[in-house]
Amino acid sequence: MKYVLYYWPGIQGRGEFVRLALEEAGAEYTDTALGADSEGGGVAALRGVIDAEDVVRPPFAPPALRAGRLLIGQTANILQFLGPRHGLAPRALGDRLWLHQLQLTIADLVAEVHDTHHPIASALYYEDQKREAKRRSEDFVASRLPKYLDYFERVNARNASRGGWMVGNALTYVDLSLAQVVAGLRYAFPRTTRAALRRRPRLAALADKVFARPRIRAYAGSGRRIAFNTEGIFRHYPELDRNG
């Protein structure tokens, strides 16, 4: 099956979690974010599935994945669909539910990362809420981020005898997603993350192992992986980092 991924151009955002799964699977897909509006890509393609009157089940927001007749929204939902079809999820129902639970927890963390630089409103510029962002970030790096990282480190440790992956004895989409989170944190909060990962070596090793996989390494070096920047979810503002 050839897929179509709809996402905003110019940023990794939540679309990157889906891209990593598609890349690891070796799936054939079109990424509309990399295409021009005049060629059926870009924002025009995205608006065509979100705002079109003839879409019976429109997604609320990107990412969205076209898979045959299916149009699937929500990152965790898309990954729950792709996982079993491409060897990125266990077979047992209990394991799949556990995998989905972890992915939803990752979604919670990603939302909190976003709110460090936009604590008041997404419609406002960062410059319009810098004071509030500073306060929100101080709490995030001191309290919220350690809580999430400790949790994922603990989950990984309990599965250590099965290869160091998060669930079962093989890589899953949650491993890919956690690696993306670690990469984003290393960009957005380099000082904080460097210190945090020294105390959570399993997460650091997991992220490095994921990005060393042949297909992921090839994707990262292909020019198709959009660089982190100050328009996406993970944004580097030095003043928001610890000691910034």
**What is the rounded CA–CA span in Å between residue 1 and residue 22?**
12
Q: Bin 140: left if φ > 0, else alpha if -120 < ψ < 50, else beta.
A: alpha
Tokens of 39: 């060629």
CATH number assigned to the domain covering 3-85? 3.40.30.10
Confidence bin at 161 (pLDDT 50/70/90): confident
The stretch 170-186 carries a mean pLDDT of 98
All structural domains of the chain with their residue ranges: 3-85, 93-213+232-240
pLDDT tens sequence across 215-231? 999 999 999 999 999 99
Tokens of 10: 């110019």
How do residues 25-81 score in pLDDT, each as one tens digit? 999 999 999 999 888 899 999 999 999 889 999 999 999 999 999 999 999 999 999
Mean pLDDT along residues 157-174: 94
Domains 3-85 and 93-213+232-240 share a fold: no
CA-based torsion, 240, 114, 120, 6: positive or negative: positive
Residue 244 has pLDDT above 70, yes or no: no
- Dump pLDDT digits (tens) for 97-119: 999 999 999 999 999 999 999 99
Q: Report the CATH number of the 93-213+232-240 domain.
A: 1.20.1050.10
Decide if 159 contacts 112 (C-beta within 8 A). no
Instruction: Yes or no: say if 205 and 164 are a contact pair by the CB < 8 Å rule.
Output: yes
The mean pLDDT value of the chain amounts to: 96
Structure tokens given for 208: 């490095």
Q: Looking at the predicted structure, is the pLDDT value of residue 243 above 90?
A: no
At residue 34, the pLDDT reads 94
Q: HEC profile for the chain?
A: CCEEEECCCCCCCCHHHHHHHHHHHCCCEEEHHHCCHHHCCHHHHHHHHHCCCCCCCCCCCCCEEEECCEEEECHHHHHHHHHHHCCCCCCCHHHHHHHHHHHHHHHHHHHHHHHHHCCCCCCCCHHHCHHHHHHHHHHHHHHHHHHHHHHHHHHHHHCHHHCCCCCCCCCCHHHHHHHHHHHHHHHHCHHHHHHHHHCCHHHHHHHHHHHCCHHHHHHHCCCCCCCCCCCCCCCCCHHHCCCC
Percent of the chain residues topping a pLDDT of 90: 93
pLDDT at 163: 86
Q: What is the pLDDT of residues 133-148, one digit of tens each?
A: 999 999 999 999 999 9
- Closest CA relative to residue 107, chosen from 69, 163, 63, 57: 63
pLDDT of 149: 98
